[in-house]
Homo-oligomer: A and B are copies of this chain.
């Protein structure tokens, strides 16, 4: 069944009127009609089965029938990365969303070579992936910031693992991860960290470098290796029950 993220509240007996874009998608792309059902979620009120009760050229009205899944806390895992070329970034946003990243944060490094970021596209890709993979919340997308600014405001309790290409850091699986603590994973730009950035990271109390693979990984590959491992290791088995 089609899943749609909406901004509207989702409550029994309260109609949901879709935006023009989503209306177009349901009626023209997916060819749904009156009395067809879809799943709606808004990140707050769980997931609802809703029926199309009215259509017009620019609008669709849906009636929430029953809550199919209650809202629940989802994983807490941050991914921090340098802006990438559009296709690679789109791919990473999609994959990180599927894997359960709760916050995507772009970091500007000395060797960042992609000059600008299309945040609207990033948000659209994250929303589509959220709709597709069954999550109940969108990942948060933070504005671009410098490494210095990021570390200056770093939350005391969150661990920061970063991909270290020098092969001098322990492998991910050699770390003793604490599933009770929140983690973040940071990957540098294609050209690597500058020596200053590396020494800043190495001296940062909550940070730890990790070796990911014997080969030279592209930034988005490194990000996915780190994120998929951390998701597996720090999210409790109870979160593996999709419909709990």
Contacts and interface: CB of A to CB of B under 8 A. Distances in A.
Interface in A200-244: 211, 213-218, 221, 224-225, 228-229, 231-233, 235, 237, 239-242
A66 interface: no
A99 B213 contact: yes
A72 B228 CA distance: 29
Interface residues of A, number: 35
A133 interface: yes
Copies assembled: 2
Contact of A228 (B94, B225, B235): B225
Interface stretch (A6-14, A145-153, A167-175): A167-175
B231 A232 contact: no
Contact of A91 (B91, B173, B211, B229): B91
B171 A217 contact: no
B100 A215 contact: yes
A100 B217 CA distance: 10
Listed residue (A172, A221, A240, A242) with the most chain B CB atoms within 10 angstroms of its CB: A221
A191 interface: no
B133 A215 contact: yes
A107 to B, nearest CB: 22
Given A133-B216, A134-B215, A232 B173 contact: yes
A237 B167 contact: no
Nearest to A235: B214
A127 interface: no
Listed residue (A167, A171, A232) with the most chain B CB atoms within 10 angstroms of its CB: A232
Given A95-B224, A98-B217, 15 more contacts: A94-B218, A98-B216, A98-B218, A132-B218, A133-B217, A167-B241, A171-B232, A172-B232, A173-B232, A213-B228, A213-B232, A214-B235, A214-B239, A225-B232, A228-B229
23 contacts: A95-B221, A98-B217, A98-B218, A98-B221, A99-B213, A100-B213, A132-B218, A133-B215, A134-B215, A135-B215, A167-B241, A171-B232, A172-B232, A173-B233, A211-B240, A213-B228, A213-B232, A214-B235, A214-B242, A215-B242, A224-B224, A225-B232, A228-B228
